[in-house]
Amino acid sequence: MSFGNETWDAYQRVNEIFADRISEEAADGDLIWVHDYHLLLLPRLLRERLHAQNKRCPIGFFLHTPFPADDFWRGLPVQKQLLDGVLGSDVIGFHTDEYKANFAGACSSHIGADIEGDKIHYNDRTITIDKYVVGIDCQRFASAIEDPGVQAKIQELEAQYKDKTIIIGVDRMDYTKGLPEKLEGFRFFLDQHPEWSEKVVLIQIAIPSREDVKKYQDLEEEVNKLVGQITGKYATPKSTPLLYIHRSVSFAELTALYSVSDVCLLTSRRDGMNLVASEYVACQEARHGVLVLSEFTGAAVFLKHGSLLFNPANAEGLSNALYEALTMEKKERKKLYEKLRSFVTTNTRLVVIFSIILPPQVPPVLPEVRQNS
C-alpha cells in the first residue's frame, strides 16, 4: 500500500468539490446516490451541508469494489476518516456478505460503532448496510443478438474460426484483473497440452485504462511481453492460439464475440463483482458456454455452482480448469449453464436499482415520484 499526504489532500479536495456542487443543486426530498471508493468522504460532507441548508435528503452509497479485511484496512493511515465519511449515508450497499462483514468489523474496531445485524449505530444515527446483487440488462443482449448486423458478425466469426474452440477474455488493462496471470496460465496450458495449440484460440480484449499512470504502463509492457512470448512459441503461418485486442470494442462486436465463444476465462486477482461473467451468460443460450472464473471475484460467490473456479495465482490450477472446460461433455455444459442463466436472468440491473433506491427504511422521496414509478 502506498500513501502520500499530497494525494490525500487532493482526495479531500475532490470530495469537497462534489459536496459543494451537489448540495447547491439538491432540492429538499431528493435522493442522493453516491458511488464507489473515490467518494468515501462525500456522504458526511453532504449531510453537513444539507443540514445547514435545512434540506432533508436520504443518501445512499454503493461500493463497487471489495471492502478489504481488517489486516489490510487498518494499515491505511486515514481509515478512520474514511469510515466516518461514508457513515454519513442512510444506506450503504456492498456486492457480497463478506465485504459487508469486513466493513462492519472495521466500523466496530476502529471508530467504536455499535453493530446490530444490518444496522450500524454511530454518532446518534442508524445506518443500514446490506448486500445488493448487481445484475445486467439481459434483454439488451437478447435484442442485440437478433440484430441483423450482429447476426452477420456472428456468422463471420463462426466461419473464421470454424475449426477452433474459442475462449473469450474481456478485461480492463488493470492490475486487479489478473491479465499476466491469465496469460501465464494459458501458456502453461499450451505447454501441458500442445495438441490444443492449433485447435483453440484465446481472444483477449484488453480495454485501455489510465494509460498516463506508470503502474499501468508497466502492466501493459508486461502483458505485451507475454503475448509476444506465447505467439512466438505457438503461432504458425496458418494459425495462432492467441488474438490480443488492445482497444475498446463496440457493443455489437462484443455481443457477437460472447455469442460464438465456447469458454469465458476471467482471472481477476480481486474484483467487486465482474459483470463480464453475467454478460457472457446472457449471450450463451444457444451454445451453453463454460464459465471459468477466478474465485476472487464477487461473481464467484453467486455463480460458483455453475462455473469452474480456480485461484489465478496457480497457473497449473488455471490450466486444469481450462482443460476441463474445453473437454466437457455437452450434457454437463448445459447443466452448468442452466444454473448460471437462472441466476443471471433473475438478478437484473432493474431489480437491484429499485431494491437500493427504494428500501423501506429510507425516508420516502417525493410521493408523486413514487406514484408514477
State the cell numbers at 371: 406514484
Whether 15 and 45 have beta carbons less than 8 Å apart is answered as yes
Active-site residue set: 64, 271
Q: State in Å, rounded, how far the first CA of the chain is from the last one.
A: 44
Give the containing element (helix H, strand E) for 284.
none
Would you say how long the chain is, in residues? Answer: 373
Q: By three-state DSSP, how is residue 40 classified?
A: coil
Residue 351's Cβ-side half-sphere holds a number of Cα atoms within 13 Å equal to: 13
State the cell numbers at 52: 445547514
CA–CA dist 258, 244 (Å, integer): 15
Phi and psi dihedrals of 232, rounded to 5?
A: -65, -35
CA–CA dist 235, 150 (Å, integer): 29
CA–CA dist 270, 177 (Å, integer): 7
Whether 276 and 238 have beta carbons less than 8 Å apart is answered as no
State the cell numbers at 329: 461433455
Name the residue type at position 149: G
Phi and psi dihedrals of 345, rounded to 5?
A: -80, -15
What are the Cα distances from residue 113, in Å, to 161, 197, 288, 324? 57, 56, 47, 47
CB count in 10 Å sphere of residue 75: 11
Phi and psi dihedrals of 293, rounded to 5?
A: -130, 130
CB count in 10 Å sphere of residue 151: 14
The closest of 82, 91, 95 to 37, measured between CA atoms, is 82
